[in-house]
Structure 1
Amino acid sequence: MSSGDFCPRCGDPVPERSEPLPGTPRERDEVLCNECYFEDFELVDAPDEIQVRVCSQCGAVHRGNRWVDVGARDYTDIAIEEVSESLGVHLKAEDVRWGIEAEQVDENSIRIHCTFSGVVRGTYVEEDVTVPVRISRETCQRCGRIAGGYYSSTVQVRANDRTPTKEEQARATEIAETYIAAREEKGDRDAFISEINQTPEGPDIKISTNQMGRGVSKRIVRELGGSFEEYPTLVTEDGDGNEVYRVTYAVRLPKFTPGEIIDPDDDDGGPVLVRSVQGNLKGVRLDTGEEYEARFEEGETPDARTLGTAEDAEETTVVTVEDEHSVQVLDPETYESKTIARPSYFDPDEATVPVLKSRAGLHILPSDAVETDAE
């Protein structure tokens, strides 16, 4: 713009300013004088009001098209953040500075007072704006589903030819709760347990998604042994015509549990104290102290009968050590001296040992098995 130009609005001379680059259009307001230019100038573009949707149950905030966990009960910081993101400052402003102050009007109303300053056309300008923020309390989709008992999968914890022990049932439930809680902590809002039903046969755990039902089942089997199978049921179709299935994950824990004494149907050395049922059943022979592992095809359920558990063991007196293969102890019921097998874990310096008396005879148990079980 050359010197000597006049403002088309008021007719006053317009101070000389640099011409735009060739090919660049001149802005309409560039021809105005400063007084006319600032009559219509707005340093800040602010909304008349902002509505913040929050979940009254979990405190999540709705942003865009989804709910976001913020863990807030005081929404002042949320209101400031929402207002800050909605404000726009004039592109011609330089050296912009601003401040925000919140005023809590009532439980659901907050006023955000904003002060902005900057330099435009070499002139210092300042502007104050107040944006009302209204807190709208709703129920998010997740909380609505939980309240409505929604679930997509059921993990049924059972055991082969027996009822799961109280410890197994409690641990299976704990595994599920820990896994789901970890998913929640990572921000997965689809992760929740709708209900846990304790049935006479074992717990039924209703979980929000099929994927998480499968994850819980895998972790239960990984720790407690056994296997699981999936039984899907078609329940509906989604808006795109895709079939939606609800899946039951039938977890079957092994027939035997750690701490049981079993008598395998083989000729390899007598009763076995079960140590582990993860993968193939593993344990120790009570006659020799040798390690035992079921054959691959038998897995965690070899053909065997149960003789008792480590809880059934009784402390008895060692009478004498006869040789490297036998020891004499008192029968805990008749108090008669009996010669029995001497396993490798037997300590000849001990005056007493834990023994199990069953239809297979009298056997010395490892002391750590009895102590661990008692704990």
Structure 2
Amino acid sequence: MSSGSRSGEFCPRCGDEISRPSDIDLPSGPSDPDAVLCDGCYFEDFDLVDAPERIEVRVCSQCGALHRGNRWVDVGARDYTDIAVEETADRLAVHVDAREVDWGVEPEQVDQNTIRMHCLFSGVIRGTAVSEEVTVPVYVARETCDRCGRIAGDYYASIIQVRGTDRTPTTDENDRAVEIAESYIAEREATGDRNAFITETSRTDDGVDMKISTNQMGQGIAKRIVAELGGTVSEAPTLVTEDGDGNEVYRVTFTARLPPYTPGDVIDLDDGDGPVLVTSAHGNLKGVRLATGDRYEADFEEGIDPDARTLGTREDAESTTLVAVEDAHAVQVLDPETFESKTVPRPSYLDPDADEVPVLKHRQGLHVLPDDEL
């Protein structure tokens, strides 16, 4: 097939004979009634780009979320220029028959809330290179998203209370409980869940309280806390209102009750086998006997709360001199208070070649502790 010129066609608008190379692809079909026009008439009313007169972008001034469609989307916007470029690109339409299209944009910050987008497009139509420049003002409307509005309004659906059993949680336990909650919420936020937030965290004389956005998340956080720190979770629902369909809406308080003993506590079980250094409060209480070094685990019925009293903690231990190893069951150490030589039980974890050992002096005497956590 040879490539010549098409002739014998006339423009229905101006009447001129149309002559164009035969290898030029023309639009076909009813979608473009101007396809039959000559180039002069065709380009007379031709628009390469269809652009709106103005674009409004709704962003949350608190968290930077962007309103798209009928919902808020987390984009963490702080520099709204990038958002303006994306929104402009989505709203501009290039002629369907344009080929080899290329475009660029140069934003101009007019004021704090207005960005003027200067867009230059180029392409090929009917074998002719065309270009067009459009300017679209983008207005940034700063609002408050639903999520930030709830937080500002002190909205919450559940409460987590971190408490101890017959004791007050330690500062480390309270801090770790808050870290667990924040990590849980961060994981949910990373999945796009905008209902995930902590409204308030407060320290009290009894522990720490946290207001959580949903009951499901409150329960999930409480379970994670006791999974790591030990203890049990109890629930106390309170009827607060009814929804539009008449369904009762409850606010649930989840109490993460930490065990009475924590790793590092030294307790007396009054069973004749000597004190126990607690090593775990998960499931059944576990530890090591200070008199022998044998492992200890509470019965299933006792769980994490066997009948015992606290003698001290690992932090109360002091380093003292190992004087002599008497036999397989006894050693001599210096009393850290009186500096007298005392014979004490020799646990299996004691290093007989050590010069110094950690000891805990308590109401029942003196015991050697392991150098490290077991």
Query: Residues 151-190 of structure 1: matches in 2 within 5 Å?
Result: 151-190=156-195
Instruction: Give the structure 2 partner of residue 347 of structure 1.
Output: 351
Compared CA separation, residues 350 and 116, structure 1 to 2 (3 A): closer
2:48 corresponds in structure 1 to 43
Correspondences of 1:197-216 after superposition (within 5 Å): 197-216=202-221
Q: Which one of the candidate residues 303, 306, 310 is aligned to 1:302?
A: 306
2:265 corresponds to:
260
Alignment map for 1:206-285 (pairs within 5 Å): 206-238=211-243, 243-267=248-272, 269-285=273-289
Please tell me whether the aligned partners of residues 112 and 133 of structure 1 are also in contact (alpha carbons under 8 angstroms). Answer: yes
Partner of 2:16: 12
Q: Indicate the SS of the match to 1:190.
A: coil
Q: Residue 15 of structure 2 aligns to which amino acid in structure 1?
A: G
- Give the Cα separation in 2 of the matches to 1:125 and 1:229: 72
Q: Match for 1:140: what amino acid?
A: C
What is the number of equivalent residue pairs in this alignment? 366
Matches within 5 A, 1:39-188: 39-188=44-193
Gaps of 5+ in 2: 1-5
Tell me whether 51-60 or 93-102 shows the greater mean CA deviation: 93-102
SS of alignment partner, residue 372 of structure 2 = helix
Q: Distance in 2 between matches of 1:204 and 1:97?
A: 57
* Distance apart, 1:352 and its partner CA: 4.3
Per-residue deviation, residues 229-282 of structure 1 (Å, max 9, x unmatched) = 222333344456655432211100001111111122435x22111111122211
Comparing 89-98 with 335-344, greater Cα deviation is found at: 335-344
The aligned amino acid for 2:277 is L
Distance in 2 between the 1:349 and 1:27 partners?
96
**Cα separation, 1, equivalents of 2:31 and 2:91:** 28
2:360 matched to 1:356?
yes
Q: 1:277 to 1:94 in 2, by over 3 A?
A: same
User: Residue 196 of structure 1 is aligned with which of 177, 195, 201?
Assistant: 201
Q: Take 1:297 and 1:330, find their aligned partners in 2: how far apart are those partners?
A: 40
Structure 1: runs of 5+ lacking an equivalent:
none
**Aligned letter for 2:78?**
R
**Offset at 1:356?**
2.9
3-state SS of 1:368 partner: coil
Q: Deviations over 1:206-225 (max 9, x none)?
A: 12222322232122112211
* Letter of the 2:210 counterpart: I
Inter-CA distance 15–364: structure 2 relative to 1 (3 Å threshold): same
Shift of 1:40: 2.5
Aligned-residue offset at 1:82: 0.8
Decide whether aligned partners of structure 1 residues 27 and 67 sit closer, same or farther in structure 2, where only a CA change above 3 A counts.
closer
Deviations along 1:35-83, one digit per CA (max 9) or x if unpaired, are: 3333322221111110011111222221222222333322122111111
The answer (yes or no) to whether the contact 1:224–1:253 under 8 Å persists in 2 is yes
Give me the whole-angstrom Cα distance separating, in 2, the residues matched to 1:355 and 1:128. Answer: 83
Q: Kindly indicate whether the alpha-carbon contact (under 8 Å) linking 1:355 and 1:363 is maintained by their aligned counterparts in 2.
A: yes
- Normalised to the residue count of structure 2, the TM-score between the two structures is 0.87
Cα RMSD after superposing both structures: 2.9
Is the alpha carbon distance of 1:355 and 1:93 closer, same or farther for their aligned partners in structure 2, counting shifts above 3 Å?
A: closer
**CA 357–28 in structure 1, closer or farther in 2 if over 3 Å, else same:** closer
Q: Distance in 2 between matches of 1:144 and 1:67?
A: 12
